[in-house]
Amino acid sequence: MVEECDIAVVGGGPAGLAAAEVLAAAGRRVTVFDRMPSLGRKLLMAGRGGLNLTHSEPLPAFLGRYHPEGSLTRAVEAFPPSALRAWCEDLGEPTFVGSSGRVFPKSFKASPLLRAWLARLDRQGVALRPRHRLIALSEDGLIFETTEGGLTVRPEATLLALGGASWPRLGSDGAWVPLLDGLGIPVSPLRPTNAGFAVTWSPTFRERYAGTPLKRVALSVAGRTVRGEAVVTEAGIEGGAVYALSRLLREAMEADGSATLLVDLRPDLDEAALAARLARSRAGDSLSARLRKAAGLAPVAIGLLREAAGAALPPEPAALARLIKAAPLALTGMMGLDRAISTAGGVVLDALDERAMLRARPGLFLAGEMLDWEAPTGGYLLQGAIAGGRAAADGMLDWLRTRQGLAQNPTIPVAPAGQDAPSPS
């Protein structure tokens, strides 16, 4: 079966839906295709613990969270956190800023926002086509596998927002990589980011503390320090502070095969003050009692200190304070994509022009996590996906206007979508 289509958006996550909204608001007829039975599944998963929409920090610092530097600057500047909050409000979902500076909907849920968003798209006339899996990109168009057989769609322009490869059961499985490889589009290998790391715990520590949070700690690697919380798991360590350092830790592991994470168990005290407290401990106290009373360490922190030391803890206050302030954890591996929150790697950014269109495939635009950028958790991922989707839609509209202008000028020939237009003689 073959269908003609004005605008095709492939991928019903935040980037794809954001692009569809902008395109439909501009009067284009938009069809959103997605391989899952329903759209926005990863967004719903992100909202299970409270949907972190964006962050309230000043924009220059906010933009610095994206890697590579500048990768989403134009998109986020065009649709900054304030605009995203206003957009949520307009959908009937007011937001608030938490104590950490993170921004959440007041309902603290993703489902009301997604329902309101899909309802708006429906009012705009956007056609939603779930259960359509993209299996090929050909000169004839987009080829989908559906419950009713094969379908070829011939759009005037296409936006791909197929996600990365984390949480594959929610729809983003990276199956698009060979499709773009086949077109000669450069794709950096997909790798986990915002993920936990493996640590070889002793059986006693693992059994006693797996699932226990490490509160108010500071983690450091490669000169970068992040305060926050982490969680001991059976396999290692994860949590917000770990995720914020995951790119640096991953790069260290790729370079050296391992990495060392330094854990400051008392970031609110400097080393000298901590040593003084330990020196004033009662003479009859055991080492564990000194760590609990004088250093204020929780049992899990004391256990981690012993794991990091790999031997008996030093009894001298200065040496013990030094270890508490920089307990070295040897990381032996990184959790896989199936356990990662997001994906690093993807289509290299140089393959796209300033409109987010593939230089080698005019009329084919890309957005979202399938591009080679990454950011920590804290609202930056969702902000980047939505802003990037909207920016790609704006680029598509600009390209379509230019294309229409060329078509109205009989002296300038126009090539079909997917081919370069010849230069006027």
Give the CATH number, domain containing residue 87. 3.50.50.60
Q: Assess contact for 227 and 203: CB atoms under 8 A.
A: no
Query: What is the pTM assigned to this prediction?
Result: 0.90
Q: Does some domain include residue 172?
A: yes
**Cα 271 to Cα 323: distance, rounded to the nearest angstrom:** 9
| Residues 131, 10 share a domain | yes
- 248: in domain: yes
Q: Do the domain assignments include residue 422?
A: no
Burial of 127 (0-12, 13-18, 19+ CB in 10 A): middle
Residue 153 placed within a domain: yes
Note whether 216 and 75 are same-domain residues.
no
Domain for residue 413, yes or no?
Answer: no
DSSP string, 105-142: ETT--SHHHHHHHHHHHHHTT-EEE-SEEEEEEETTEE
Residues 138 and 216 reside in one and the same domain: no
User: Contact 71/24 with Cβ under 8 angstroms?
Assistant: no
Could you give the number of structural domains in the chain?
A: 2
Please say which residue of 334, 358, 381 terminates a domain: 334
Pair 163, 212 in one domain: no
Query: Is 266 found in the same domain as 156?
Result: no
Indicate the residue among 299, 318, 334 that finishes a domain: 334
Q: Which residues of 137-168 are buried (b: 16+ CB within 10 A; e: fewer)?
A: beeebbbbeeeeeebebebbbbbbbbbbbbbe
Rounded CA separation 306/359 (Å): 55
- Domain extent, residue 188, equals 2-192+340-407
Task: Let me know: does 76 contact 63? Beta carbons within 8 Å.
Answer: yes
Q: Is residue 240 part of a domain?
A: yes
Do 328 and 354 reside in the same domain of the chain? Answer: no
CA 159 to chain CA centroid, nearest Å: 19
Tell which residue, 194, 64, 159, 45, has the closest CA to residue 110: 45
- Quick one: 69 and 187 in the same domain? yes
In this structure, are 249 and 161 located in the same domain? no
Domain boundary, last residue among 334, 361, 394? 334
The reply to whether 416 falls in a domain is no
Task: Give domain status of residue 425, yes or no.
Answer: no
pLDDT values of the chain reduced to their tens digit, one per residue, 425 residues:
888 999 999 999 999 999 999 999 999 999 999 999 999 998 998 877 789 999 999 999 999 999 999 999 999 999 999 999 999 999 999 999 998 899 999 999 999 999 999 999 999 999 999 999 999 998 889 999 999 999 999 999 999 999 999 988 888 899 999 999 999 999 999 999 999 999 999 999 999 999 999 999 999 999 999 999 999 999 999 999 999 999 999 999 999 888 999 999 999 999 999 999 999 887 778 899 999 999 999 999 999 999 999 878 998 999 999 999 999 999 999 999 988 999 999 999 999 999 999 999 999 999 999 999 999 999 999 999 999 999 999 999 999 999 887 766 655 444 445 444 443 33
CA–CA distance, 148 with 126 (Å, rounded to integer): 22
- One-letter amino acid identity for 15? A
For residues 23 and 29, give the distance between their C-alpha atoms in angstroms, rounded to a whole number.
8
CB 166 within 8 A of CB 172: yes
Both 319 and 374 in a single domain? Answer: no
On whether both 163 and 239 belong to a single domain, the answer is no
Query: Does one domain contain both 262 and 365?
Result: no
Residues 255 and 368 placed together within one structural domain of the fold:
no
Give CA–CA dist 342/190, Å, rounded. Answer: 10
